[in-house]
Chains A and B, each alone.
Chain A
């Protein structure tokens, strides 16, 4: 079955929801990729999202994995273009218009108004993900630990995610 049109449709739609960060699209991504199209399972989605946090570049490159699983190399490429094309085009148009928009008073209103909503979407995405990944005291402790360390110290977050892998191997393999 050819998944390419569905991949293009789903990821072009998801790209427009990434206001404030990729995580904002996560609840919708879970519904579409896991429940509707069954390209992967919810634990797999959480895994590749989290591993993706250690990769360089835009922090949603995990979409490549979904594209690959659903449609091979071509699927990965379609997913990439669908996910970054529409928003890149929008940014390009805004870049051209920006000088004119600068004096429009509602521009600031939109910026200020969207800030709490986009942070809320980020948090909603985080809760969706936590439902599948923070399942007990042990994983809860890792999440809270990472949060506290990041709030207290200036440290590369990718290192902490890597440390999470280390702690995981040390503490969960024996069980």
Chain B
């Protein structure tokens, strides 16, 4: 428990090497990583983040809460899905390159195999009346799900009111002006990053 008290923000910033020695990453084998991520990959219905936390922090104690939150924030700001980015970061921390590779494999294989089966099944039965009806409902529900994700992320990740202008500009660029996604990402992204430049964030009190 004393180790935990050492792991506050100040300790991490002043002497990261002290942190490393104070809380050594537990020795975990590549097989253990593969098994853990296969289980997460096979059971994480409806979003991987809670399952990752349950498995890696609560059950196996391979990483602590602070590391988990930090890794999640890295995952979210990089391209790529949270699920696989988290697998890379956790795998790298525990076992380097091999750790990352098996973690990503474990994360992707169960869902990939399932979707492979779905692909075959869809070709065989996708045009049955009941299948078409079910898919119509599923597709509409998925739109609601994405909208809920947008609302949730906006509440969590947007720090300033003006961010909604960047958000709307991105939507208009892609949907109305038919810009390609990378073009919208680069043009609006650079404007937004400049808006959030360190000097302006200090003024707004977001950055110390």
Contact = CB atoms under 8 A, between A and B. Distances in A.
Contact of A59 (B78, B83, B100, B197): B83
A5 interface: no
Contacts of B169: 120
A122 B75 CA distance: 16
Nearest to A127: B175
Contacts of B148: 146-147, 150-151, 157
Interface string A76-100: 1000100010011011101110110
Given A56-B44, A91-B80, A142 B146 contact: no
Contacts of B97: 92
Interface string B151-179: 10110011100011111111101110000
Nearest to B160: A112
A145 B145 CA distance: 10
Contacts of B141: 50, 142-143, 146, 160-161, 163-165, 167
Given A17-B185, A171-B137, A87 B79 contact: yes
A34 interface: no
Tier of interface size on chain B: 35 or more
A101 to B, nearest CB: 9
Interface residues of A, number: 103
B180 A105 contact: no
Contact of B104 (A24, A84, A106): A84
A15 interface: yes
B77 A110 contact: yes
Question: Which of B80, B119, B159: most chain A CB closer than 10 A?
Answer: B80
A118 to B, nearest CB: 8
B144 to A, nearest CB: 3
A31 B120 CA distance: 24
Contacts of A88: 80, 84-85, 87-88, 100, 104
A10 to B, nearest CB: 13
Interface of chain A, helix or strand or loop or mixed?
Answer: helix
Contact of B142 (A49, A117, A124): A49
A112 B175 contact: no
Given A56-B42, A88-B87, A164-B142, 15 more contacts: A16-B182, A48-B119, A51-B118, A52-B118, A55-B45, A55-B111, A57-B40, A64-B119, A68-B119, A76-B112, A108-B198, A108-B207, A147-B144, A158-B47, A169-B130
Interface of A: 15-25, 27-28, 44, 46-62, 64-65, 68-69, 73, 76, 80, 84, 87-88, 90-92, 94-96, 98-99, 102, 105-106, 108-117, 119-130, 132-134, 139-140, 142-147, 150-151, 156-161, 163-169, 171-173
Q: 6 nearest interchain CB pairs?
A: A168-B137, A120-B170, A164-B141, A146-B144, A57-B111, A87-B80
Interface of B: 13, 16, 40-48, 73-85, 87-89, 92-93, 97, 100, 104, 107-108, 110-112, 114-116, 118-120, 122-123, 126, 129-130, 132-151, 153-154, 157-159, 163-171, 173-175, 180-182, 184-185, 188-189, 192-198, 201, 206-207
15 contacts: A47-B138, A56-B111, A58-B82, A58-B111, A65-B122, A95-B93, A109-B197, A112-B192, A113-B189, A122-B153, A124-B173, A126-B143, A128-B174, A159-B46, A165-B135
